Structure 1
């Protein structure tokens, strides 16, 4: 019997929501590219789900929305950031009732949700790299509990090394009405971590209207290190996927 542990709880807001700035700009600047990438990386796995799909680090909902389209099962979306949940919930509210009823949003980290045996496919997109080593180690057993025996986990691998020099990625400019949105991010090696600094701007006919900066941290890890960690928690490798940036594992216990 698949179940969710019933418990009363108080959702504690994050002391500093790392996505308070980015939540406004993420869909505007990255949605189109990310939506296509999510479909390419995980669409086949979601379509094969027979029990449920678990979306870990749902963000503004790209994996969840894709999973709803590709599958006929329930989706559990885990997103502790209130800032990212706001556009996600608005997106869900606009769906037809039949689709909305298949989604449950959990405003906690996965280990706090009490989910057990609710999915046979777990997807963790653009999230593992942002977890410090201790948080990463706590994630694997929580995923194992949430999966049924034989369930699969697919996740985007973190960078395998620190960047030797600053890496700059420019976001494609987007126009909404009379305003143009844009920005860039810079990835730098700082004391064994990767600092990702995102800079956003909005311009109108009169010039720059506003600009914002937000910083995230990432922790590199090699594919071999990820395999070793997951093997200790009862996962075994699945055949390689089309994209080497994704690791696919099965949980046998």
Structure 2
């Protein structure tokens, strides 16, 4: 999760082998615990009220998917085209009971290639939209509208509204596993019409750096107003602003 989100693939069966190849090792270790708390705060009540199905768009390593399985009694569709992120998702699901795993389907394609029609009344798009180009973002809204039943709701974690004014760096939490300590930082900076997000990771033992790795992702800013216009073009109408303004809720128009 976080800003890392799966890029689209050209067609079913073809995927980028390198997407998240570096960050997948560190994501659950350094970021997922804090993100799990946020996911429950943002979406728990919505998925608990699902009556048809839950759609997790850009499932990553599975925080929204797992919560949806535990909090609802409906089928869950997890869409994650990036193999490096899908691997820990599948490992996490494999540890669950059969009662839970019979209700979840993992789709290894981008949503507009998964062929889902009217499968959910609640869709969650967490830490995904920021990493989509504007054309891919608009295609996603139409695919979500097709995957939702009439009056079904989509919850979108908003991307940055604008480019940052200058470069900033944020430290990631550190974790100790055996003799090794893991940590890193995220550096964001403006780059023409995009935001460059560079993730730097390190592994230390007794203060000595054993390994360093980095990976860069790109984000496209969009304001709430811009997204509402795009969503309306796909037949998704904005609902009243939620308690947390970081999430935009929209509903598919009825039949």
Same fold (TM over 0.5): yes
- Is this contact kept in 1: 2:170–2:187, CA < 8 A? yes
Instruction: Return 5+ residue gaps in structure 1 as ranges.
Output: 1-8
For residues 211-245 of structure 1, give each alpha carbon's deviation from its aligned partner in whole angstroms, at most 9, with x where no partner exists.
Answer: 10000000000110001111111111112212101
Match of 2:68 in 1: 67
For residues 87-129 of structure 1, give each alpha carbon's deviation from its aligned partner in whole angstroms, at most 9, with x where no partner exists.
Answer: 1100000011111111100000001100000000000000000
Match of 1:201 in 2: 202
- Is this contact kept in 2: 1:18–1:216, CA < 8 A? no
Alignment of 1:33-72 (within 5 A): 33-72=34-73
Match of 2:14 in 1: 12
Cα distance in structure 1, aligned partners of 2:207 and 2:171: 23
**CA positional deviation for 1:32:** 1.1
Match of 1:156 in 2: 157
**Cα-Cα RMSD:** 1.1
TM-score, length of structure 1 as denominator length: 0.94
Of the structure 1 ranges 200-209 and 218-227, higher mean CA displacement relative to structure 2 is found in 200-209
**CA positional deviation for 1:191:** 1.3
Match of 1:98 in 2: 99
Cα distance in structure 2, aligned partners of 1:10 and 1:250: 28
**CA positional deviation for 1:10:** 5.3
Match of 2:117 in 1: 116
Cα distance in structure 2, aligned partners of 1:215 and 1:111: 25
Cα distance in structure 2, aligned partners of 1:230 and 1:181: 40
TM-score, length of structure 2 as denominator length: 0.93
Instruction: Return 5+ residue gaps in structure 2 as ranges.
Output: 1-10
Structure 1 residue runs of 4 or more that deviate by more than 2 Å after TM superposition: none
- Is this contact kept in 2: 1:241–1:247, CA < 8 A? yes
* Count of residues in correspondence between the two structures: 244
- Is this contact kept in 1: 2:12–2:113, CA < 8 A? no
Cα distance in structure 1, aligned partners of 2:30 and 2:181: 10
Distance change >3 Å, CA 169–CA 206, structure 1 → 2: closer
For residues 175-212 of structure 1, give each alpha carbon's deviation from its aligned partner in whole angstroms, at most 9, with x where no partner exists.
Answer: 11111000000110001100000000111136111010
Match of 1:3 in 2: none
For residues 44-98 of structure 1, give each alpha carbon's deviation from its aligned partner in whole angstroms, at most 9, with x where no partner exists.
Answer: 1100100000000000000001111111111000000000001110000001111
- Is this contact kept in 2: 1:75–1:104, CA < 8 A? yes
Distance change >3 Å, CA 221–CA 213, structure 1 → 2: same
Cα distance in structure 2, aligned partners of 1:12 and 1:38: 30
Matched, 1:82 2:83: yes
**CA positional deviation for 1:17:** 2.8
Match of 2:188 in 1: 187
Cα distance in structure 2, aligned partners of 1:191 and 1:31: 30
For residues 2-31 of structure 1, give each alpha carbon's deviation from its aligned partner in whole angstroms, at most 9, with x where no partner exists.
Answer: xxxxxxx951121x5321111110000011
- Is this contact kept in 1: 2:52–2:74, CA < 8 A? yes
3-state DSSP of counterpart to 1:186: strand
